């Protein structure tokens, strides 16, 4: 399978949100549906979008995206799209919002329900609704990716849609929109970006330029995430964290066992980014003997003077206040064999550098869960 790279047009800088009307006009979109969540509306972040749209009062807005994106949320947003007679979508939010908007861009133009397209990229045509992504977190990189994760409900494991045709046409990355992101989410989403960079770097397939971009994302994140978490108004730190999140997904090769594990543990509504970074050290330890050269380069990108990338991630998590185990994060119950089997079956293994066996996943699950 050839490596296919599809990127959005990117507008990146403080104040970039002011270019929204210009970008909508370039796409020929006259009546977009703005997809966001109530937290961003209440925090005043969505107000920057209204100002960019000349404070128009007749915007079509769907602001009911849940913390973890659900099928029901997509269905309701599609209904809002049709009710508003919309011809495009603007996602204003983090990964949950952008992934919901990607699904809306498909279902609103293709018909049916989102379940018709889960795991079926061949059913997604080029005529998706034009989509502009405006990220308000520095983590998921969904503004530059060809995938979207969705849950049947808030307490179920995620499933995905994947297609070059759901990559946003435009990404407006304005670090100022992340200033109000609270410390816990800054830390969790920021380490999610590190997870994306690390997994893309190790993923199978050749993309030397992408590997360099992924390592750059790691360097930026490790140098600035603590500053951004401690002081949300730190402009330099916010700038580099948003760039890290974007770069992490522009590598374009895919993900792997870290996300397979995080998705398996994603059936209890816990924060995705925290689960990713808690899962990372165990997987990195399993890579040390298999990929010594890549591990060495990753350590250099992290600024590790002594020790390993696995240890560096654990220490960073400690400093950010992220627990060391999924159990400490709040995960209840869990049958080890079932968890291992589910991780082994994950679609994330398709691009993994190697596919761990069920027994190997069981060992990883034990480490990550903390049993």
Q: What is the model's pLDDT at position 321?
A: 97
- Residue 265 domain-assigned? yes
Domain co-membership, 168 together with 192: no
Query: How far is it, in rounded angstroms, from Cα 257 to Cα 83?
Result: 41
Model pLDDT for residues 192-229, shown as the tens digit of each residue: 999 999 999 999 988 899 999 999 999 999 999 999 99
Region 242-263 average pLDDT: 93
- Residue 4 domain-assigned? no
Query: How far is it, in rounded angstroms, from Cα 364 to Cα 198?
Result: 17
Domain co-membership, 291 together with 158: no
Of 68, 52, 256, which is closest to residue 156 (Cα–Cα)? 68
Instruction: Examine the pLDDT at 276 and tell me if it is beyond 80.
Output: yes
Query: How far is it, in rounded angstroms, from Cα 179 to Cα 236?
Result: 11
Mean of pLDDT over the chain? 95
Q: What is the model's pLDDT at position 246?
A: 96
Instruction: Examine the pLDDT at 284 and tell me if it is beyond 90.
Output: yes
Domain co-membership, 214 together with 160: no
- Residue 150 domain-assigned? yes
Domain co-membership, 187 together with 173: no
Model pLDDT for residues 297-354, shown as the tens digit of each residue: 999 999 998 999 999 999 999 999 999 999 999 999 889 999 999 999 999 999 999 9
- Residue 227 domain-assigned? yes
- Residue 255 domain-assigned? yes
Query: How far is it, in rounded angstroms, from Cα 177 to Cα 236?
Result: 13
Instruction: Examine the pLDDT at 255 and tell me if it is beyond 70.
Output: yes
Model pLDDT for residues 44-66, shown as the tens digit of each residue: 999 999 999 998 879 999 999 99
12 phi and psi, to 5 degrees?
-130, 115
Domain co-membership, 195 together with 162: no
Residues forming a β-bridge with 64: 37
Query: How far is it, in rounded angstroms, from Cα 347 to Cα 80?
Result: 31
Q: What is the model's pLDDT at position 334?
A: 86
Instruction: Examine the pLDDT at 185 and tell me if it is beyond 90.
Output: yes
pTM above 0.75, yes or no: yes
Instruction: Examine the pLDDT at 154 and tell me if it is beyond 80.
Output: no
Q: What is the model's pLDDT at position 199?
A: 97
- Residue 198 domain-assigned? yes
Q: Binning pLDDT at 50, 70 and 90, where does residue 1 land?
A: low
Q: The domain spanning residue 103 has which CATH number?
A: 3.40.50.1970
- Total structural domains in the chain? 2
Domain that holds residue 172: 9-178
């Amino acid at each position: 399978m050839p490596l296919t790279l599809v990127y959005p047009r990117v507008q990146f800088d403080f104040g970039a949100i002011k270019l929204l009307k210009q970008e909508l006009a370039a796409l020929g979109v006259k009546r977009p549906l703005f997809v966001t969540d109530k937290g961003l509306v209440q925090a005043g972040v969505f107000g920057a979008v209204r100002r960019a749209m000349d404070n128009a009062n007749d915007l079509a807005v769907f602001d009911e995206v849940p913390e973890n994106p659900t099928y029901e949320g997509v269905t309701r947003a599609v209904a809002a799209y049709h009710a508003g007679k919309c011809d495009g979508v603007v996602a204003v939010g983090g990964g949950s919002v952008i992934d919901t908007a990607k699904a809306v861009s498909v279902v609103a133009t293709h018909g049916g329900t989102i379940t018709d397209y889960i795991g079926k990229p061949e059913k997604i045509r080029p005529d998706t609704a034009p989509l502009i992504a405006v990220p308000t977190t520095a983590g998921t990189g969904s503004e530059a990716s060809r995938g979207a994760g969705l849950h049947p409900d808030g307490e179920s494991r995620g499933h995905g849609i994947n297609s070059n045709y759901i990559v946003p046409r435009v990404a407006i990355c304005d670090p100022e929109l992340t200033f109000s992101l609270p410390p816990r989410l800054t830390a969790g989403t920021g380490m999610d970006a590190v997870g994306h960079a690390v997994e893309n770097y190790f993923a199978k397939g050749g993309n030397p330029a992408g590997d360099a971009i992924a390592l750059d994302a790691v360097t930026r994140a490790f140098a600035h995430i603590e500053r951004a978490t401690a002081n949300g108004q730190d402009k330099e730190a916010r700038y580099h964290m948003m760039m890290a999140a974007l770069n992490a997904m522009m590598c374009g090769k895919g993900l792997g066992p870290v996300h397979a594990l995080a998705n398996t543990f994603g059936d209890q509504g816990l924060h995705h980014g925290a689960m990713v970074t808690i899962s990372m050290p165990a997987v990195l330890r399993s890579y040390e003997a298999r990929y010594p050269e890549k591990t060495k380069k990753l350590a250099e990108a992290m600024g590790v003077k002594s020790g390993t990338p696995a240890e560096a991630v654990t220490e960073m998590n400690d400093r950010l206040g992220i627990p060391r185990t999924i159990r400490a994060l709040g995960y209840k119950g869990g049958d080890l064999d079932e968890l291992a089997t589910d991780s082994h079956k994950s679609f994330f293994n398709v691009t993994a550098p190697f596919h761990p066996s069920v027994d190997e996943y069981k060992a990883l699950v034990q480490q990550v869960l903390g049993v």
